[in-house]
Amino acid sequence: MTVFGVILAGGLARRMGGATETPGDKALIRLDDKTLLDHAVARVSPQVDAVVINANGDAERFGAALPVIPDPDDSRSGPLAGVLAGLDYAADAGASHIVTIAVDTPFFPENLCSRLFEAAQSDGMPLACAQTGERTHPVFGLWPVILADDLRAAMADGMRKVDCWTARHGCAAAVFGTVPFDPFFNINTPEDLAVAERMLA
């Protein structure tokens, strides 16, 4: 199997109050002198065979030596559009699966990919997502490329919610602990950024 990591970096920093040098780009918010994108790339790279960034607009703003793939129709229609973009890119490259992560979640587990595969295989399901406590994190998921056309058709029919589509096929949960903190803590506000700085320390 060949697995691509897809960093979903299309989030807008609406609540960050100027904490990013490029307004609107959450991926470029700085945490400990690195961007959130830098943190995501460093964390996911050892877990997968290749990494791509899903974002719309000018790819040059990231300054990354990684492919930047837009949503299929540049509609900014939510995480499923980024998943579909990743599936199409991975399929063209001959990969079997993708693992998606959100760029604003800098502490996601360093064994995320292997745990997602273990959960899917254990439960006999094609898909898997992360879970902490009673809360699922559907954008931290494992997706086989063979489901790309099914997702494309579902989105053409108006599907937008990740968990609604995954429920059609069966989605296992890889459960992670929350000590000393929830690894899926995400940054939405300046206050969250301050918390993340303390967590990093």
Say what the pLDDT of residue 78 is: 87
Q: Please list, residue by residue across 23-42, b when 16 or more beta carbons sit within 10 angstroms of its beta carbon and e when fewer do.
A: eebbbbbebeeebbbbbbbe
Q: How confident is the model at residue 144 (pLDDT cuts 50, 70, 90)?
A: very high
pLDDT band per the 50, 70, 90 thresholds, residue 13: low
Say if residue 15's pLDDT is above 80. Answer: no
**Rounded Cα distance, 39 and 124, in Å:** 32
Place of tokens 């898997």: 128
> Each residue of 107-127: pLDDT tens digit?
999 999 999 999 999 999 999
Question: In angstroms, rounded to a whole number, what is the distance separating the alpha carbons of residues 116 and 47?
Answer: 11
Residue 118: per-residue pLDDT: 98
What's the rounded mean pLDDT across residues 89-98?
Answer: 98
Residue 91 to residue 70: CA distance in whole angstroms: 15
> Could you give the residue ranges of the DSSP H alpha helices within the chain?
36-44, 79-92, 112-123, 148-156, 162-169, 190-200
> Does the pLDDT at position 75 exceed 70?
no
| Domains with residue ranges and CATH for the chain | 3-200 (3.90.550.10)
Record the tokens describing residue 134, joined without a space: 């009673």
Average pLDDT, the chain: 92
b/e per residue 106-143 (b: at least 16 CB within 10 A)? bbbbeebbebbbebbeeeebbbbbbbbeeebbbbbbbb
Among the ranges given (60-64, 87-91, 135-139, 150-154), the one the predictor scored with the smallest mean pLDDT:
60-64
What pLDDT does 17 receive?
Answer: 53
Burial label, 4 (beta-carbon count in 10 A; 0-12, 13-18, 19+): buried
Q: What is the pLDDT of residue 77?
A: 74
195 — pLDDT class (breaks 50, 70, 90): very high
Confidence of residue 89 (pLDDT cuts 50, 70, 90): very high
16 pLDDT above the threshold of 70: no
Q: What is the pLDDT of residue 90?
A: 98
Q: Which amino acid is at 196?
A: A
